[in-house]
Amino acid sequence: MALYTGNYLKNLTRTKTATERVKLMTESQVTHHTFDIFLCHSYLDKEIVEGLYLELTKMGFKVYVDWIIDPQLNRSDVTKDAAELIRRRLRSSKSLLLALSANAGLSKWVPWELGYVDGNTQQCALLPVSTDDLSRSSFHRTEYLKLYPYVEKPNDLSRFRDKLWAVEGAYTYVDFQEWIKGKKPSYSSTSFF
pLDDT in tens, 15-36: 999 999 999 999 999 998 999 9
Indicate whether 193 belongs to any domain: no
Indicate whether 28 belongs to any domain: no
Give the phi and the psi of residue 38 in degrees, each rounded to 5.
-95, 115
pLDDT at 178: 93
- Answer yes or no: is pLDDT of 157 > 80: no
Mean pLDDT of 115-136: 84
Q: What is the pTM of this model?
A: 0.90
Burial class (CB in 10 A: 0-12, 13-18, 19+), 90: buried
Indicate whether 107 belongs to any domain: yes
Total structural domains within the chain: 1
- Domain hosting residue 132, numbered range: 4-22+33-187
Among residues 107, 163, 20, the alpha carbon closest in space to that of 115 is found at 107
Lowest mean pLDDT among 14-18, 57-61, 177-181, 186-190: 186-190
- Residue 45 is given by DSSP the state G
Q: How far apart are CA 76 and CA 45, in angstroms?
A: 16
Give 171 or 48, the one with higher predicted confidence: 48
